[in-house]
Chains A and B, each alone.
Chain A
Amino acid sequence: MKALTEMNPRLRAWLGFGLGALVLFAAAPALLSDFRLSLLAKYLCFAIVAVGIGLAWGRGGLLTLGQGVFFGLGGYAMAMHLKLADAGPGNMPDFMELYGQLDELPAWWAPFANPAFALAATVLLPMLVAFGLGTLVFRRRVRGAYFAILSQALAAAMVILLIGQQGTTGGTNGLTDIDGFFGYDLDDPVNQRMVYFIIAAVLLGLLALTRQLMRSRYGELLVAVRDSEERVRFLGYNPANVKLVAYVVAAGMAGLAGALFVPAVGIISPALIGIVPSIEFVIGVAVGGRAALLGPVLGAVAVAWAKTALSERFPGTWTYLQGAMFVLVVAFLPGGLASLWGMVRRRRETPPAPAPVTGDQALIKEVAV
């Protein structure tokens, strides 16, 4: 372990990514049944959202309780395209025919028939919404709990809007029964496996991107803004822009995750993107370690796995456990499980330095890879 900590960070990162790739691309497909692998694909989508939350919340102090909005925008953009593709050119998606309220495809659906437009929209649409809201909110120095509440209100409004517009969005049911994915039949296990590989590759790619962001000068500045926004302002930076970048990147990741979730699970619906799922994204990040790179990924997968394992057989117990997790981890282990690893490492090296604990911010100990 000592050798590992002294290793050149670059080399360590390559090793880490190599190991991650080995687990995701070789071990998991070899060891897991098709059913388990498709579950893992779903968890990895949550993990992608978590990477973004780790950046925005862990490093930037932006507690976003509305990532479901961006996950949903990405998911709906993808699902709209796949529904249109399933229906074939000139036809309306099945649920529109079923409700029978519409004579023709709504105008705002039409562009999503174009795969390039839809794919771009899965990422750009969430980023655009985050940019708009972030610009307005950060520029006026709305922050902390105020920002958290606003982001949550956005999730609430989005869900109510989707449910209300049943004729064009599928309402409470959402967009379901998605059969094909750019010409591949999603019922075929081989194609499901391909979707899993795509998701795993995207996760690894985004981890690399986030690692670079965290280690860059921007990453240092982001931590500085989190810990003392006003001080940064007096150094000549506009903290609003610094926060905006993290928020928009996190939104883009959530959008991409939502887009990949659709072929992996075959559905996107309001219940998957509302207040509760949005805050469930956060619990995974908190458990794993908000300021670490890998913490949010492992936390998100672990929490999602525990939910599947427990919630079907003991739904009540799961809710208590989830609540207890929030209370115990956030109150008493704010650095998450990643901070345990850091503590062990420090104990081995040097006598513990008196670490100043200042509020929400006392969490960034580099646990990168």
Chain B
Amino acid sequence: MTVILGQLFTGVSIGAVLLLIALGLALTFGQMNVINMAHGEFIMAGAYTTYVLQQTITDAGVSLLVAIPIAFAVAGAMGVLLEWALIRRLYTRPLDTLLVTWGVSLMLQQLARDIFGAPNVQTKAPDILTESTSLGGDVSIANSRLFILGLVVLAVVALTAALKLTPLGRRIRAVVQNRDLAAVSGIPTGSVDRLTFFIGSGLAGVAGVALTLLGPIGPTMGTNIIIDAFLVVVVGGIGQLKGSVIVAFTLGMLQAMVEYLTTLSVAKVIVFVAIVAFLQWRPQGLFTLRTRSLA
């Protein structure tokens, strides 16, 4: 029982990171129908930002906290640059965008290798996060996982509030729901797109900070987790946050449980089969904005 609970907590924290990544993807995919394969490298950028900060600010706790906004800004800026330089030219060609951004992701990985070297690097977690909190009995949960969960909850609440309550958020939602109508209503869709990319990519940067608490930092760390995040978007549906929330945690826990019951390798296959089976039932994802269109 304790092992199962432990696995569930692991699943929850992995699901939380997945959610952070998937929210960013869902934002940009929902708004621009663009699959950004370089999203994984924004995660990597966030992680390396944490690493670099720790070289200058030696206090692990301070550097971690400082890293969160800076990683958000760094990854966000990279996202804006990518949107401005390439993606906005390819809006009508979503599949081509996927391949183009894959090319960008290859180059960013190599850039990381050239700057930081091919081997993985590691950050040092602040002492308080290396301990565990007891949840009664012999069930305990690592503080680092609690921290990640808190960080993600904070980010999701902030994002939801920003989208629902601020004028900028309303503009973003307007563009998601009807780009042409938003444009003729005087919303500058171009700058809204760039803002969306900033936020979406920034969330990936924050996820990168969180991942430094769970494992090593390396040039290919993004590619390893990005596919799972894409699956969250596919299954969760576009245009509503709650789909991503439900699916990210379900996927995280499902994977952790199946992995516990079988092995990692079998778990991946079972999860894949489960997703294909789910799509038989809900091919448009869990929640989708329905509109009348031929496409």
Contact = CB atoms under 8 A, between A and B. Distances in A.
Contacts of B283: 140-142
Contacts of A149: 35, 227, 230-231, 234
Given A153-B227, A324-B103, A330 B280 contact: no
Interface stretch (B7-15, B89-97, B157-165): B89-97
Given A145-B35, A149-B227, A360 B107 contact: no
Contacts of A160: 264-265, 268-269
A275 B223 contact: yes
A325 B106 CA distance: 11
Interface string A123-144: 0000000000100110011101
A283 B269 CA distance: 26
B21 to A, nearest CB: 14
Nearest to B103: A326
B272 interface: yes
Nearest to A231: B294
B99 A144 contact: no
Looking at chain B's contact residues, the main secondary structure is: helix
A161 B94 contact: no
Contacts of A162: 265
B113 interface: yes
Interface centre among B29, B90, B96, B271 (most CB of A within 10 A): B96
Nearest to B262: A164
A224 interface: no
A61 B95 CA distance: 9
Contact of A319 (B94, B99, B109, B263): B109
B295 interface: yes
Interface in B280-295: 280, 283, 294-295
B239 to A, nearest CB: 14
B86 A331 contact: yes
Given A164-B264, A358-B92, A326 B272 contact: no
A286 B104 CA distance: 16
A9 B90 CA distance: 35
Interface of A: 61, 63, 133, 136-137, 140-142, 144-146, 148-150, 152-154, 156-158, 160-165, 230, 275, 279, 282-283, 286, 316, 319-320, 322-327, 330-331, 334, 358-360
Closest 3 CB pairs of A and B: A164-B265, A326-B103, A323-B106
Interface of B: 29, 33, 35, 86, 89-90, 92-96, 98-100, 102-107, 109-110, 113-114, 223, 227, 230-231, 234, 263-266, 268-269, 271-272, 275-276, 279-280, 283, 294-295
23 contacts: A136-B276, A136-B280, A142-B283, A145-B35, A148-B35, A152-B227, A153-B275, A154-B272, A156-B227, A160-B265, A161-B268, A162-B265, A164-B264, A164-B265, A164-B266, A230-B295, A279-B99, A322-B103, A326-B102, A326-B103, A330-B100, A334-B93, A359-B92
Given A153-B227, A283-B99, A359-B92, 18 more contacts: A61-B95, A63-B95, A140-B279, A142-B279, A145-B35, A145-B98, A149-B35, A153-B272, A156-B227, A157-B268, A160-B269, A161-B265, A316-B114, A320-B106, A320-B110, A322-B103, A326-B102, A331-B96
